[in-house]
Amino acid sequence: MNLILLGAPGAGKGTLAAYLIDKMGVPSVSTGNILREAVKNETKLGREAKQYMDAGKLVPDEVVIGMLEERIAQSDCQNGFILDGFPRTIPQAEALDRIAKIDCALSLEVPDEVIEGRMTGRRVCLKCGATYHVQNMPPKKEGVCDVCGDELVIRKDDAIDVVRDRLKTFHAQTEPLKGYYGDQGKLKSIDGTQGIHQTVQFAVQALEL
């Protein structure tokens, strides 16, 4: 099965993908990782992408799609793949349809308030990398790392205005994909607010795994 995971930043797509690769026996394919690999390995497309990155520009869709095409042609994608973080726009979805047959788009539904709570509650220790959450996984002593005793901080990506900005972009550019795949009869939506184990259950039911 060739599966796309849709959902807002912070909805839990990456975590769900990690569970589904086991259940489905297919790899998860992230365009971010492909891009980094191609640049590192200095492939033709990787060198092209690097020129844009060095100039501080976004890597164009056709370069990313080219890398994706190479990646899903590899043998481990024979029985399918899970795409996490791509497509993010309708033009990307249209380009993807030209190189692969998508079977299902699974949308992870989480309201903005819940995502804001999840992300802005995160705290990290810059010294040892331990992560906490003020509600779900608080440190023993507020603001102090349990592991190494260093101060806990809010990552820049988790600041409320950054989170709201990313949600706004998601609603404007990526959420229309639900209509795109809905029109193709490929959209399935599940509740992503009930914790990871319940979310996996919902996904297994929706995908009939």
For the annotated catalytic residues, the residue numbers are 13, 88, 122, 155, 166
Give the binding range for Zn ion (CB under 5 A) out of 23-31, 129-137, 153-161, 201-209: 129-137
SS (H, E, C) the chain: CEEEEEECCCCCHHHHHHHHHHHHCCCEEEHHHHHHHHHHCCCHHHHHHHHHHHCCCCCCHHHHHHHHHHHHCCHHHCCCEEEECCCCCHHHHHHHHHHCCCCEEEEEECCHHHHHHHHHCEEEECCCCCEEECCCECCCCCCECCCCCCEEECCHHHCHHHHHHHHHHHHHHHCHHHHHHHHCCCEEEEECCCCHHHHHHHHHHHHCC
Residue of 53, 73, 99, 128 that binds Zn ion (CB under 5 A): 128
Does residue 34 bind Zn ion (CB under 5 A)? no
Report, in Å, the least distance between residue 136 CB and Zn ion: 18
**Which residues in 97-126 contact Zn ion (CB under 5 A)?**
125
Residue of 73, 99, 137, 147 that binds Zn ion (CB under 5 A): 147
- In terms of CB distance, is 53 or 128 closer to Zn ion? 128
| Conformational region of residue 191, where left means phi above 0, alpha means psi within -120 to 50, and beta covers everything else | beta
Report, in Å, the least distance between residue 121 CB and Zn ion: 18
Report, in Å, the least distance between residue 149 CB and Zn ion: 7
**Contact indicator for 49, 41 with CB cutoff of 8 Å:** no
Report, in Å, the least distance between residue 124 CB and Zn ion: 9
- In terms of CB distance, is 79 or 136 closer to Zn ion? 136
- In terms of CB distance, is 153 or 172 closer to Zn ion? 153
Does residue 207 bind Zn ion (CB under 5 A)? no
What character string, x for contact with Zn ion (CB under 5 A) and - otherwise, covers 148-167? x-x-----------------
Which residues sit at the interface with Zn ion, rule CB under 5 A?
A: 125, 127-128, 130, 145, 147-148, 150
